[in-house]
Homo-oligomer: A and B are copies of this chain.
Amino acid sequence: MPVYAAPLREYQFLYRSVLKLERYSNLPGFAEAPLDTIEQILDEGAKFTIGTLFPLNKVGDEHGCIWTPEGVKTPPGFRAAYTAMVEAGWPALGNDPEYGGQGLPNVVNLAFNEMVCSTNMAFGMYPGLTHGCYSAIHEGGSPEQKRMFLPKLSSGEWGGTMNLTEPHCGTDLGLLRTKAVPQADGSYKITGQKIWISGGDHDLADNIIHLVLARIEGAPQGVKGISLFIVPKFLVHADGSLGARNGAVCAGLEEKMGIHGNATCVMQYDDATGYLIGTANEGLKIMFVMMNEARLGVGLQGLAMSEIAYQNAVAFAKDRVQGRSLSGAKNPDGPADPIIVHPDVRRMLMDSRAFNEGARAFLMWTALYGDLYLRSPDEAIRQKALDYMGLMTPVLKAFLTGEGFRHISDGMQVHGGSGFTEHFPASQYLRDSRIAMIYEGTNGVQALDLVGRKLAAKGGRAIFTFFAELDECIAAHESDARMVPFTTALRESKAQMQEGAQWLMQNGMSNFDNAGAASHDFLQVFGYTALTYMWTLMAKAAFDGGLQDPFNDAKIKTGRYFIERMLPEAGAHLAKLKAGSESMMALSAEAF
């Protein structure tokens, strides 16, 4: 049986000792929910996800979704679980009170979402996309649109989707062809085919609100002629009641390697009634609100799946006896020692653990800036928050999913042959999580976003601010002898990241292929540096909390492991980066 314990103590440590959320108790959202309350909420969240979603994870994998002419059927139990989730108010946790939300900070919502994803990633994508749809309409919708759609999207009574991809265009949205024809009443008729639409149809909610990118007849070619439309599955009367079925139908489901419990739909729009959001031809701006949120959410999936894979690998490694410890029997009365005694098993477990804890801190640290951007009255803080959100989002998306997948694969490896069978959950974790490196912009696209846009934005203001923050952290703690291993590592790691950034400035502008060639490796160096920073902050908090508490003691030991045995990867990435693009691009395309 799969195991899962929600990382409640980790959240507590991050909230209280690392991020020190009590500093923000005067801000809206934080004010309404003191830390005690937040922790009670997450306690309940753990009970809900473990009690309701976790048992459905394998069910979803085995049954998958089924297409019928009447609509898509989700796996057995999904509808009841979804209803229970909506009734308990979970989807609205971080949403705007004006539309029925509970207004809690996103750092709280993200913690709940981690539990949702760890216990049932495929299920979690339904409310996840719905929330993205909520956010886009909240950002760009008219007052009337907000009034009509937000309350039910907030509560989860209605589902939401994002429709970008078409068969011939994924990353390159400029190629999209779905067309929108203006109608006399101000609405549009939308026609075209969209693919890979997560939750495009299902039986969980009474209505589904599709956000669809389309080109208004006569609009410019390329990305400058793309508009965003609300296309409800069922039209909505002015009183909120449901009207006619709209011409938006699921034409088929994709067969996929994983996340079988989530319906990945081919959506056919035939003269479907749609409502323009915001300004014509500026649809991408609003869609990017949704995309950026989704990218953080996908980074979270990398962490959440690595966490559940780790926990199950630990359980297996403690239970399975095989061979003897190299340093003498640890279970002399048994036929063999549990395999957790073997260094190479430890290596994989510690790699995962040190990554997970660092990644969670990085995600929460960034999410806090998202909260400060929305809630702080201080313009300087809001600007820094916006800069950081832009800079960190591609790193979180790509680093957490790419490295997370490595650790998920290690979780399978700890299981030996058992891991490859479907009797244990390792296979599903590996299969489910692999998509996270791909969707919401492949990790390569994230790396290009980082080096091509985010790094140089506003004269590099965001990254210079980050470097200064790292320097401050080093200066603040390097005189503390206990902290020296961490501050030393942070200084070296920051120097590597700076060297990479300088190389990019010197070589990436004159030859864009150099920037492209360096992008993945720079993102990796960034990720390792960010996690080193997190481990430095966590080490300080753990020392302050006192090592007599085994939790704090384990934090220090895990942080040391990260520095000694994981951070060396950054040096390899820097060396690769500095090799430039020449050997990468030397072969002609025909030579392949």
Contacts and interface: CB of A to CB of B under 8 A. Distances in A.
A575 B247 CA distance: 60
A439 B345 CA distance: 16
User: How many copies of this kind of chain does the complex include?
Assistant: 2
B175 A335 contact: yes
Nearest to A421: B254
Contacts of A507: none
Given A343-B585, A584-B350, A434 B416 contact: no
A150 to B, nearest CB: 29
Contacts of A469: none
A592 B335 contact: no
B346 A255 contact: no
Interface stretch (A103-111, A281-289, A474-482, A508-516): A508-516
Contacts of A296: none
Contacts of A585: 343, 346
Interface stretch (A20-28, A89-97, A165-173, A530-538): A165-173
A559 to B, nearest CB: 9
Interface residues of A, number: 96
Nearest to A517: B343
A335 B169 CA distance: 10
Given A326-B512, A342-B444, A579-B564, A517 B347 contact: yes
Interface string A574-589: 0110010101111101
Nearest to A558: B587
A264 B420 CA distance: 11
Contact of A584 (B264, B343, B568, B587): B343
Contacts of A66: none
A405 B416 contact: no
Nearest to A330: B589
Interface stretch (A363-371, A385-393, A423-431): A423-431
A591 interface: yes
Contacts of A75: none
A569 B576 CA distance: 9
A572 to B, nearest CB: 4
B422 A255 contact: yes
A85 B336 CA distance: 44
Residue of A417, A421, A550, A564 ringed by the most chain B CB atoms within 10 A: A417
Nearest to A327: B513
B592 A349 contact: yes
5 contacts: A170-B417, A318-B589, A347-B520, A431-B431, A560-B583
Interface of A: 165, 168-172, 175, 196, 254-258, 264, 314, 317-318, 322-323, 326-327, 330, 335-336, 338, 340-350, 353, 405, 409, 412-413, 416-417, 419-423, 427, 430-431, 434-435, 437-439, 442-444, 447-448, 511-513, 515-517, 519-520, 550, 553-554, 557-558, 560-561, 564-566, 568-569, 571-573, 575-576, 579, 581, 583-587, 589, 591-592
